[in-house]
Amino acid sequence: MRFSFLFSSLVLLHQAAAQLSGSVGPLTSVSTKKAKKTCNVLDYGAKADKSTDLGPPLLAAFNACSSGGLVYVPSGNYLLSTWVTLSGGSAWALQIDGIIYRGGTSGGNMIFIEHANDFELFSSHASGAVQGLGYEFHAQGSISGPRILRFYEVTNFSVHDFILVDSPSFHFSMDTCKNGEVYNMAIRGANEGGLDGIDVWSDNIWIHDVEVTNKDECVTVKSPAHNILIEDIYCNWSGGCAIGSLGANTDISDILYRYVYTWSSNQMMMIKSNGGSGSVENVVFQDFIGHGNAYSLNVDSYWSSQSTAAGNGVEYNNITFTNWHGTEANGAQRGPIRVICPDKVPCTDITISDWAMWTESGTSQTYTCRSAYGSGSCLRNSGSGTSSYTSTSTATAAPSGYSAPTMAADLKNSFGTTASIPIPAIPTSFFPGRKCGPCRAKSRPNSECTWTAGRSRSDAKAYREHIEVLQQHIKTLEQSAYPQDDMPNNVFSYHSETPTPSHTRSQQSGNGYNSSPTGLNVPVTSLHGRFSSLPTTISENISPASAMVGSIETNTGTQEFYGGSSASNFMTQIRQAVAQQLGDRSYITNTAPFSSLGVKKDPQRRNSQWRDFNLDDCALPPKSRADALMAVYLDAVHPLYPFIDRVALMESYEGLFSSHGSIEVDPSLLCALNLIFALSCQLDTTASAEQRQTSANVFFRRAQKSLDIWKMDSSLESVQVLLLLGQYLQSTNEPLQCWVFVGAATRMAQSLGLHLPETSTNVASIRQREILRRVWHACILMDRVLAMTYGRPTMISQAVASVTPLPLPIDEEDLSMGTALKVVDSLSPTRLEFFLHSLKLYEIMEELLNATNSNIIRQNAPAKPSGVLGFRSAHATPLTEIDDKLVAWEAELPDHLRRLPDLQSPARSSSVNVFYRQAVILRQRLLHVRLLALRPVLSSLIAYNGGSSDNSANFGTNLSYRIAHQCAIVCIKIAQEAIDLVHQYKSTQWATTGFIAAWWYNVLFVYSAATVLVAARLRPLWQSEISEAAILQSWRRAINILETYKDYSKSIPKLIVTLQMLFKQVPKSYLSRDVATRQNSPSKQMHPGSDDHNESAVDAQIHRNWDTSRYHNTAIQDEEVDGIPSLISDIDFFLDADDLSWLNSGPIDL
C-alpha cells in the first residue's frame, strides 16, 4: 500500500518532527571519547570467565573514564554479582560487547546510570547483552528481583544495538531524563506481569526500532512526559504498549506512537487510570497493525487493577487514533474499540479514523464508548455538551481493508517462567515492510524547533482545518503533476485523514531525521535495493534548463552537484544571498550542498520507479542455484571490487527470497542481483563454455528488463549498477559498451559529488562514509583498468582522484552504523586491504599511461632507447622513477598479500583462500604494469635502426643502450613469470575461478606476455641470460593457456592465430630488413644476380643468428606444440618491420 509523497512529506514528516522539542542523543561521538581515553575493564581486574564479579572492575573503569572516555567491556561472558551505580560523568560511553550474566540476588538495579550528560551505551556488533536469568525468581512466583537497567536524570544520551534478556523485574526504565534516543534493541522477558520492557517518564525522547517479548508493558509512557516519539515497535507476545498507570497530577503531552506491530498481546494500546487528576493531551497513535491480541484500543479510566486515586479523573484531550488494521482474538468478548472516559471529566477532541479491524473468532465485534466526545466509531459529537453517557454497538460484517500483513518472526509460544530464555538477535525489521528500521534512524534531529500552534482546543480545531486546506492544495498539485492516466491509485487512501497534534514544530534536521545507513526505509510489503547501504535518490525531476542556466525556483531538495563554473551553482548562490537578506532561515538551512548524503530520503521518492512484482514474475533462480552464484560473487568478485555493502546486499537478497506473494521491488535490486548472477556464470570455469554463456545471457537479459537505463535516478545505487554492468561487459565481446557504462558510472558519481572530500567527510555514519568512498574509488579503479586494457587516456585525473580519502582497511562486518569505529584487531588482515593496494598500484600505472601517451612515444619515427628511458615529455615521469615506485609499492605489501599459495598444502578455509587469491591477482597486476612500463623500451630497442641485429652486440660505452638492453631482458623475464603464474594456478578450482584472476584478465595478461616472447626472438644477444629453450617453453605454456580459454570468447581463437602468425613471420620480416639494410650499405653493395639478393640471403642470416636445427625441431610453425594443433598452415603475410603495433597494443585492438 502506498501514499502520496507530497502528502507524506508536507504533513506526516512535519507531524513526526512535531513530537520532539529539540536534538536528541550524545553531544560527542564515541570516536572522540575513545580517542581521549579508553578504560578496558580487563585492565581493572575483570575476567571473561563467568565467575569473577564484574561489578568492582566496571565501577573502577567508570571512575577512570567518567570525565570523558570510553568504558569498554570486550567480548566474552561476565558475571555481575555486585550491582553498579555509575553516578555523574560527562562525555563518556559504555561499550558492552560481551554478555553480562546476573550473579547477585538483591533487588534494585543491576546497572544504574544517574546524573550523566553526553552519554552512550551500546554494543559495537549489536550482540552485547545482559542476561538477567529472571526465571530463577519467576519459577518461585516472585518478581521482586532487580531491574536490569535504569537511567535517572540522564541528559543527551543514547542506548542502541543492545539486548536485555529475562529481567527478574523491569527491563529498562528512563526516569526524569532528557534528550535521549533508544534504538535497535531486543528485549526478551518471561510470560509474566510486572516485567515491563521499556518505561519512560522523561522529556524529548526518541524510541524506535525495538522488539519486546514479555507479558506486560511493551513500550509505555508514564507521567510526567513530554515530546516523546515512539515508532517501529514490535510487541511480539507482550502486554502491549500503554500510557499509564496514571494518578494524581498527571502531566503528559505531545506523544506520537506510530508503526507499532503487536502480536498475541494483552492489547495494542492501553491508556489506564482510575481517578486521579491532570491531563493527557496532544497524542497521536497512528499506523498500528495487530493480530491475536485480547484488546486492540483500550482506554480505561476505571481500571480495576489500580487503586483509585484522588480526583475526578485524568482529562484526555486532542487524542487521535488513525490507520489501525488487523484482527483481534475475540471481538465479541473484547471489542476492538473500548474508550471508557471519566464521567466527571469526559474525554474531548478524540478522533478515530481509518479504522479496520475484525475478529478472529466468531462473527461479530463490539464497540464501547463512555463519556468520550469527538468523531469516529461510537464517539459522540460534543456539540450538545459533554455529559456522561455509555454507548455500545455491535458489528456483524467485517470492515473493508482490515487485512494486514504479519511478521515472519511472530512467536508461536511464550518463553514461560521456569526456564532460561535464550539471547535473541536484534531483528532486521520491526514493522511489516519497514526494513530495516535501526539502519534507517541512526541520525538524529539536531536543530531547534519552534511552536507553530497554541495549546488551546480552539487552536487544535483551527490547526486541523488548516491541514484540510493543505490536503486539498496538495491534491490539486498532484493532479497537475501527474497526467490523468499516471495518477497513482488511492493517493490519499493511506493516512489521508491523519490529523496532527496541536503542538506542532517545524523540524529541520541537520543530520537527517529519517537517515538510513543501510538503505532499507521502505513502505509496507516492499523490498528496497539495500546493496548501497546508502541514500537511494539524491535528485529527481530536475529541469534541463535548471542544470544548464540555473533554476529560479526556491529550494527543491535536490542534491545534484554543480561546480563553481555552472550557471546552476551561480543561481543557487544568488538565491541564498536573497534569502539571507530576507531573513528566510528555512531556505538557508535547507540548502547545504551535501547534507542529504547522510540522510535517507523518504522512500516514496522512489515510487515512480518501483514496480509491483509477483515473485514468480521476478524469474529468480532456485534458491540453491542462487546461493551458489552468490557465493561465487562474494568469494571471487567482491573481495576485489568491494563497492557494494556485502552485509546489506545479503539482507536484501535473503529478504527477497523469503517474501511471498506480490511485493514492491526496487528494480535496481533485481538488476544488481541478475548482473551478479550473470557475472558469476561467466566466471565459472568448471562449466562448459556453452552452458556458461547461455546462463549468463539469461540473467543479463533479465537485468536489462528490470531497469530502464534512460530513467535511472542519479543515485548511489545507480552508480553501483553501472559498475556491475561494466564488470559483466568485460567478459563479453562488447568493449565499447563496457567503456561507456563505466564512464557513465563515473559521471553519475561526480554528479553526486562523490569526487569531493567533503561529501563523505560530512557524513556522520562511518558505514555510510566508507561506502561512499568505496564507490568513488571503484570508479577510479575501473577507469584505470579499462584505460590500461583499451590503451586510452583515463577519465579521472590523478589530481581529482587523490582528493577524496581512501576507504579504511575495515571489512563491512566491522563497520559501525553509528559515528564510532568498532574496536578491531589492527594486526588481523582484512579483505579490503587488497582494494587499497590495488588503487595505489594503478595510481602508479596512471603515471605510466601518461608517459606512454606522451609525444615521444606517439611520434612516427622510432624512439631512441635513451628517449624512452627518460620519457622526455613535460608531463611524463621517467621510467626509473616509475620502477622505483613499483618496487616501493611491493615492499609495503602486508604479508597476506605477498604470500602465494602452496598447492601441496592441505585444504584451507574460505577466508584464507580469499587472501591467497588476492595475493596471486595482485602479483599478476604488478607483473602486467611492469610489462607495460618496460615494453616501450623493448620496442624502441628493436625498432631503432642503430640497434639492428648486426650491431646489437657492440654497445661500446653507450650507457643508454646498455641500460635499455637490461630493461629488455627484465621485460622478457617478467613476461615469462606472468605466463608461469597463470600456468601454475590455473588448475585450481576454488570459487570456480581458481587462485587467479577472471579468465578475461588472464587472456589479456598472457597475450601481452606472449607478444614480448615474440619480440625476444629478434635479438640473439639476449640468449646470454635467457635461453631459447626457456622462451619456447614459456611460449608453449602461453598457447596452452589460451587454448583452454578458446571456447570462452570468439575472439580468443583469433588471438591464438595472431600469435602463431607473429611467431612465424616476425623474425623473417626483421631479418629481411637487416639484409636490405646491408644491401643498401655502400660497403656491402649487392649485385642483382647474387645469391644474397633473394630469399636465401634472409635464410642465411637466420642460420647465422639462431641454431635453426633446434628451431625447426620445436618450432611453432610445425604441425603442433605439446599436442596442440597449429591453427595456421604455411601462411605468409606482409609485416612491416617498422610497425611495432603488435607489441605495443593489447588484444582489444585486434
696-725: b or e for each residue (b if 16 or more CB lie within 10 Å)?
Answer: bebbbebbeebbeeeebbbbbbbbbbbbbb
Residue 802's Cβ-side half-sphere holds a number of Cα atoms within 13 Å equal to 9
Q: Is 484 exposed, middle or buried (0-12, 13-18, 19+ CB in 10 A)?
A: exposed
Closest CA to 265 of 241, 245, 246, 284: 241
Cβ atoms of 676 and 633 closer than 8 Å: yes
**Does 224 sit behind a cis peptide bond, omega within 30 degrees of 0 on the bond before it?**
yes
> Which of 97, 118, 196, 216 is labelled catalytic?
216
- Helix or strand holding residue 995 (H, E): none
What is the C-alpha radius of gyration for the chain, rounded to an integer number of angstroms? 36
Alpha-carbon span 620 to 627, nearest angstrom: 11
Cβ-contact 5, 605 below 8 angstroms: yes
Tell me whether residue 1138 is exposed, middle or buried, using C-beta atoms within 10 angstroms of its C-beta: 0 to 12, 13 to 18, 19 or more.
Answer: middle
Query: What number of residues does the chain have?
Result: 1150
978 neighbors 622 (Cβ within 8 angstroms):
no
Cβ neighbours around 567 below 10 Å, total: 15
**How far, in Å, CA of 789 to CA of 1048, rounded?**
18
Residues 6+ apart with CB under 8 A from 972: 938, 1012, 1013, 1015, 1016, 1022, 1026, 1031
User: Which residues partner with 302 through β-bridges?
Assistant: 274
Set 138, 171, 291, 755: catalytic member? 291
Known catalytic membership, residue 53: no
Cell 578450482 maps to which residue?
A: 989
Local structure of residue 247 (DSSP, 8 states): -
Q: Which residues contact 806 (CB under 8 A, 6 or more apart)?
A: 773, 777, 836, 839
How far apart, in whole angstroms, are the C-alpha atoms of residue 1071 and residue 1098?
Answer: 6
**Rounded to the nearest 5°, which phi and psi values hold at 1116?**
-70, -20
Q: Taking the CA atoms of 876, 877, 883 and 885 in sequence, report the sign of the dihedral they define.
A: negative
Reported as half-sphere exposure (CB side, CA atoms, 13 A), residue 312 has a value of 9
Q: Please state, in angstroms and rounded to a whole number, the distance separating the CA atoms of residues 147 and 139.
A: 17
Q: How many CB atoms lie within 10 A of CB 808?
A: 18
Q: State the DSSP H helix or E strand holding residue 779, giving kind and residue range, or none if neither.
A: helix 766-790
DSSP 829: -
Q: What is the 3-state secondary structure (H, E, C) of 284-329?
A: EEEEEEEEEECCCEEEECECCCCCCECCCCCEEEEEEEEEEEEEEC
Residues 6+ apart with CB under 8 A from 613: 662, 663, 664, 665, 670
Supply 1113's cell numbers: 625441431
8 Å CB contact between 65 and 38: yes
For residue 358, what are the β-bridge partners? 327
**Residue 1047 bears catalytic tag:** no
* Burial track 317-334 (b if 16+ CB lie within 10 A, e otherwise): bbbbbbbbbbbbbebeeb
Q: Give me the residues paired with residue 834 across strands.
A: none
Is residue 50 within 8 A of residue 77, CB to CB? The reply is: yes
Catalytic residue annotation: 216, 291
